[in-house]
Amino acid sequence: MGIEAYKSIIRECETPRQMERRILARITGALTQHAKKYDEAICAEERLGILYNGLGETLVENQLFWRILKNDVASKGNSLESSLKGSLISIALWVERETNSVMGGAAGVLDLIAVNQNIITGLTGVGTEQKD
């Protein structure tokens, strides 16, 4: 079976929520590979080297994920409750600002990872069971 056929099967079998979780988990894993070294780097040159060697591309991908999510949540057809929409849009705006800061050489990759991990947990549904 070719890779395109496999991708097609995944798209047909996954819910949008599962797909979002899978994509965000992959991005978060890639961020994690560079995070500690980047955030603990003392000089700007060292951070720029880490950005150049893969972290920058992953940060852009993370920012794109959040931009798409923000646009989807803000669309008229989105059926999420207003308070959840507002929270997600607020988080997306924070991710954009924080990513720009990190791309400029500031620490903060671990903070981006923490936010992503919280959203992954929410998408998994852990702790969301309703109590009677």
* DSSP tag of 121: H
Q: Is the pLDDT of residue 35 over 50?
A: yes
Per-domain boundaries in the chain:
3-124
Mean pLDDT taken over the chain: 87
Closest alpha carbon to 39 in 47, 48, 28: 47
Largest Cα separation within the chain, whole Å, is 56
pLDDT of residue 70: 95
Q: Roughly how many angstroms between the first and final C-alpha of the chain, as a whole number?
A: 47
Q: What is the pLDDT of residues 75-127, one digit of tens each?
A: 998 988 899 999 999 999 999 999 999 999 888 999 999 999 999 999 887 54
